[in-house]
Structure 1
Amino acid sequence: MYIITTGIARIFYYKEDKDITVHISAEQESITTIDSFIQRKKSKYNIEALEELEVLEITHADLENLFESNPKFERFGRLFLQQIYIDLVERIDDLQLHTTQERYDILLNKKPHLFKRVSAKHIASFLGMTPETFSRIRAK
């Protein structure tokens, strides 16, 4: 698991020879393939640095040791997983309940810095739209 101190990274997977962006993290955010981290097995997801990264890293074993050594850290772990769950529910809601325009507007309001630092094709993929649709919406 990584906490980004400098830079931006994304999580993506391959489907039919395309890479699909599922998450983008920047400074003060975490990035991990959570399925792999928790289950300690290979993930179908990949992490890619989109800028030069500086990160804080913690292994699963070190995190478990930290939890065992102090209940305050275990609380941190619970809160961290709750935030991941909330982010996941919001992501599902965005993709299922909102139009492409609404998804664009939501991301622009939440994380405007991404539009300056991440390529249009990665943002379009993250928003579940084609690069052409993204360009059309962006031009409005």
Structure 2
Amino acid sequence: MKLRAALLAILLLVSPVALAVSPDEILPDAALEQRARDISAGLRCLVCQNQSIDDSDADLARDLRVLVRERLVAGDTDQQVEQYVVDRYGEYVLLNPRLGLHTILLWAAAPILLIAGLATLLVARRRAAVPAGDESLSPEEQAALDGLRKER
């Protein structure tokens, strides 16, 4: 039983990753096909959202794979193909978003909000704390406070 489980685990680890690219999509030119695979690996399936179009079985992913290959056959560079897809579907289609002002703001917002929240928490705790010296209390208030402390 343990031997079977170990063999199954080894087979799963050693087996090649099954890609969704069907044989009729593969280009005859190996270099062009490799370029298509490289581009497809960086494009998000808009149906699956967390898979590249190279790994997805969705119809839209297949259409995008075919579109990438058509653009490459037409003579576009890798950047032109990627830009063509981004122009049609937006930057969300990229698995690794481009570095720009909007992405920098997005990445910087989380730490800035965390620091602001911690600072607010520290200020609120300091304001809520009883002053170290009870000099701000009137003599009557001090006497009342001392009486309450003795009752405890």
Q: TM-score normalised by the shorter chain: which range applies?
A: under 0.3
Give 1 or 2 for the bigger CA radius of gyration. Answer: 2
Q: Which has the higher helix share?
A: 2
TM-score (normalizing by structure 2): 0.25
Q: Which has the higher strand share?
A: 1
TM-score (normalizing by structure 1): 0.27
